[in-house]
C-alpha cells in the first residue's frame, strides 16, 4: 500500500528550496563576476536570472519560509503549508501573479471518538479470521461526578484534537462528529482503511468498579495477532510516542502501554492504529479533570505532540 504521497510532496518542496538556493547563488556569482572590472566576462542581463523567491514574496510569508525548511523545522513551524506554485522558467514575474495555490498535508490522521448515543448489541466478528463475535458497538461508561456519558466526552476531546492536528499541518477525518450514528467498530475501522489513513487514533475513557482506579493508557495491537502483523510495529511506535508525550505534557498518572488481541477496531484495521484511554470516568477527580477545558487542551496538545514525533520518524 502506498503511504508515501506526503513524503514525495515534501521531497519536492525540499527540491524547490534547493532550486531557490541554487538560483540565488547563481545570481550572486553573476553579480560578483559582473562587478570585477578585469573579469572580461560579458555582463548578463538581469532578466536572465529569475530567482523563484521573487515570485514567492507575492504569497504569504509563511509559505515563503516553508520552501526551504531547515532540519527539524517541521516541528517548530507546524502551520499548514499552502504554497504558491512556482512559475516555469522564463515565465514573467508579476506582482499581480495569482499563482495556483496547492495545499500540502503532512498526512491523514483518522480519529475515532468511541461509542455513540445508543449501543448496538447485534454481533459482528471480532476479527476477519475469527468466528468469535462481539457487540457492534457498546454504550461506554459514564462520569460519576459529571454524569457525562463517555460518548460525549470522547467526541469533545476528538474535536479539540482535530483542531490541534490541523494547526500542525495534518489532514484530519473523524468517524463521527455527532452522537446520533450507528457505526460498528468494524465499520469505523473500514472507514480509515478506505481512506488509507497514516494513523488511526481511537479516543476512549475507562471505567472500573473501584473509584480509585486512575490514569491514562495507550493501547495497540498485540504482536501475536496475525491479521495485524503488518501494522503492529508502526502502531506500537505511535503508541509509545503518544504515551511519552502524555506523560510529559499532562503530569497525570500513566498506566502505560497495553497490547490487545481482543479489540475489533484493531483487528479489522489495515492501517496503524492506537487507542487512548484518557482516564477513569469512575474516578471522581479524574472524571472532573477530563471535562476541564484547560486539561482537555493540555491532553490533546500532548496527543498531537506524540503523533507529530511518530509522523516525523515515519517521514525520515
Ligand atoms: Zn470506551
Count CA within 13 A, CB hemisphere, residue 35: 6
Domain hosting 300: range is 108-315
183 with 232, same domain: the answer is yes
What is the residue whose three cell numbers read 460518548? 151
The answer on pLDDT for 113 being more than 90 is yes
- Residue ending a domain, among 84, 104, 124, is 104
Q: Which three cell numbers stand for residue 92?
A: 514573467
CA 279 – CA 255 distance, rounded (Å): 9
203-229 tens-digit pLDDT: 999 999 999 999 999 999 999 999 999
Q: How many angstroms is it from 3 CA to the middle of ligand 1?
A: 29
Q: Burial-class residue 168 by CB neighbours within 10 Å (0-12, 13-18, 19+).
A: buried
Cα-Cα-Cα-Cα torsion 14, 19, 22, 28, nearest 10 degrees, comes to -120
- Residue ending a domain, among 82, 104, 126, is 104
45-72 tens-digit pLDDT: 333 333 333 333 333 333 333 333 334 3
At residue 103 the predicted structure's pLDDT band, cuts being 50, 70 and 90, is low
Angle of helix 293-315 relative to helix 150-167, nearest 10 degrees? 50
What is the residue whose three cell numbers read 470516568? 281
Q: How many angstroms is it from 4 CA to the middle of ligand 1?
A: 32
Q: How many angstroms is it from 263 CA to the middle of ligand 1?
A: 11
Q: Which helix (H) or strand (E) holds 82?
A: strand 81-84
147-187 tens-digit pLDDT: 999 999 999 999 999 999 999 999 999 999 999 999 999 99
260 with 127, same domain: the answer is yes
194 with 280, same domain: the answer is yes
Q: How many angstroms is it from 79 CA to the middle of ligand 1?
A: 32
Q: Minimum mean pLDDT among 7-16, 193-202, 231-240: which range?
A: 7-16
Q: How many angstroms is it from 274 CA to the middle of ligand 1?
A: 13
At residue 315 the predicted structure's pLDDT band, cuts being 50, 70 and 90, is confident
Q: How many angstroms is it from 226 CA to the middle of ligand 1?
A: 24
**Are 123 and 135 contacting, i.e. CB atoms less than 8 angstroms apart?**
yes
More confident residue, 285 or 67: 285
Q: How many angstroms is it from 145 CA to the middle of ligand 1?
A: 17
Question: Left (φ > 0), alpha (ψ -120 to 50) or beta: where does 264 sit?
Answer: alpha
- Residue ending a domain, among 104, 127, 150, is 104
Q: Burial-class residue 201 by CB neighbours within 10 Å (0-12, 13-18, 19+).
A: buried
Q: How many angstroms is it from 152 CA to the middle of ligand 1?
A: 11
100 with 114, same domain: the answer is no
79-102 tens-digit pLDDT: 444 444 444 444 444 444 445 555
pLDDT of residue 104: 73
Q: Which three cell numbers stand for residue 289?
A: 479533570
Q: Is pTM beyond 0.75 here?
A: no
264 with 161, same domain: the answer is yes
At residue 23 the predicted structure's pLDDT band, cuts being 50, 70 and 90, is very low
Please give the average per-residue pLDDT across 276-288, as a whole number.
Answer: 98
User: Which residues, chain by chain, have CB under 5 Å from ion ligand 1?
Assistant: 114, 140, 204
Q: How many angstroms is it from 191 CA to the middle of ligand 1?
A: 19
Q: How many angstroms is it from 96 CA to the middle of ligand 1?
A: 53
pLDDT of residue 99: 53
270 with 309, same domain: the answer is yes
Q: Which helix (H) or strand (E) holds 254?
A: strand 254-260
60 with 90, same domain: the answer is yes
295 with 212, same domain: the answer is yes
Q: What is the tally of structural domains in the chain?
A: 2
Show the DSSP H helices in the chain as ranges. Answer: 5-35, 52-56, 61-65, 73-76, 150-167, 185-194, 232-250, 264-267, 284-291, 293-315
73 with 191, same domain: the answer is no
pLDDT of residue 316: 66
Q: What are the residues whose beta carbons fall under 8 Å from the beta carbon of 121, sequence distance 6 or more? A: 135, 136
Q: How many angstroms is it from 133 CA to the middle of ligand 1?
A: 18
Secondary structure tally for the chain: helices H, strands E: 10, 10
- Across the chain, mean pLDDT equals 79
Q: How many angstroms is it from 227 CA to the middle of ligand 1?
A: 23
Share of the chain above pLDDT 90, in %: 66
54 with 187, same domain: the answer is no
12 with 122, same domain: the answer is no
Give the other-Cβ count within 10 Å of 35's Cβ: 9
**Are 10 and 81 contacting, i.e. CB atoms less than 8 angstroms apart?**
no
78 with 221, same domain: the answer is no
The answer on pLDDT for 16 being more than 80 is no
Q: How many angstroms is it from 204 CA to the middle of ligand 1?
A: 4
Q: What is the CATH number of the domain that holds 161?
A: 3.40.630.40
Q: How many angstroms is it from 140 CA to the middle of ligand 1?
A: 5
Amino acid at each position: 500500500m502506498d503511504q508515501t504521497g506526503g513524503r514525495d510532496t515534501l521531497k519536492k518542496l525540499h527540491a524547490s528550496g534547493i532550486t531557490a538556493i541554487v538560483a540565488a547563488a547563481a545570481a550572486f556569482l553573476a553579480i560578483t563576476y559582473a562587478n570585477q572590472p578585469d573579469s572580461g566576462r560579458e555582463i548578463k542581463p538581469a532578466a536572465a536570472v529569475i530567482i523563484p523567491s521573487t515570485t514567492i514574496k507575492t504569497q504569504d510569508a509563511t509559505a515563503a519560509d516553508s520552501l526551504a525548511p531547515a532540519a527539524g523545522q517541521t516541528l517548530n513551524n507546524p502551520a499548514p503549508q499552502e504554497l504558491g506554485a512556482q512559475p516555469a522558467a522564463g515565465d514573467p514575474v508579476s506582482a499581480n501573479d495569482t499563482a495556483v495555490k496547492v495545499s500540502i498535508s503532512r498526512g491523514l490522521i483518522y480519529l475515532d471518538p468511541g461509542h455513540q448515543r445508543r449501543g448496538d448489541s447485534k454481533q459482528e466478528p471480532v476479527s476477519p479470521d475469527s468466528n468469535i463475535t462481539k457487540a457492534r458497538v457498546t454504550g461506554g461508561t459514564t462520569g460519576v461526578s459529571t454524569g457525562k456519558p463517555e460518548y460525549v466526552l470522547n467526541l469533545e476531546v476528538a474535536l479539540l484534537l482535530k483542531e490541534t492536528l490541523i494547526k500542525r499541518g495534518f489532514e484530519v477525518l473523524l468517524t463521527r462528529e455527532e452522537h446520533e450514528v450507528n457505526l460498528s467498530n468494524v465499520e469505523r475501522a473500514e472507514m480509515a482503511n478506505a481512506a488509507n489513513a497514516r494513523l488511526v487514533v481511537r479516543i476512549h475513557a475507562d471505567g472500573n468498579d473501584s473509584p480509585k482506579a486512575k490514569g491514562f493508557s495507550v493501547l495497540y495491537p498485540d504482536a501475536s495477532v496475525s491479521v495485524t502483523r503488518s501494522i503492529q510495529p508502526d502502531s506500537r511506535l505511535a503508541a509509545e510516542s503518544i504515551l511519552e508525550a502524555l506523560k510529559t505534557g499532562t503530569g497525570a498518572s500513566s498506566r502505560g502501554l497495553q497490547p490487545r488481541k481482543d479489540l475489533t477496531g484493531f483487528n479489522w484495521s489495515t492501517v496503524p492504529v492506537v487507542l487512548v484511554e484518557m482516564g477513569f470516568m469512575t474516578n471522581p477527580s479524574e472524571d472532573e479533570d477530563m471535562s476541564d477545558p484547560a486539561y482537555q487542551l493540555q491532553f490533546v496538545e500532548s496527543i498531537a505532540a506524540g503523533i507529530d514525533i511518530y509522523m516525523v520518524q515515519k517521514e525520515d
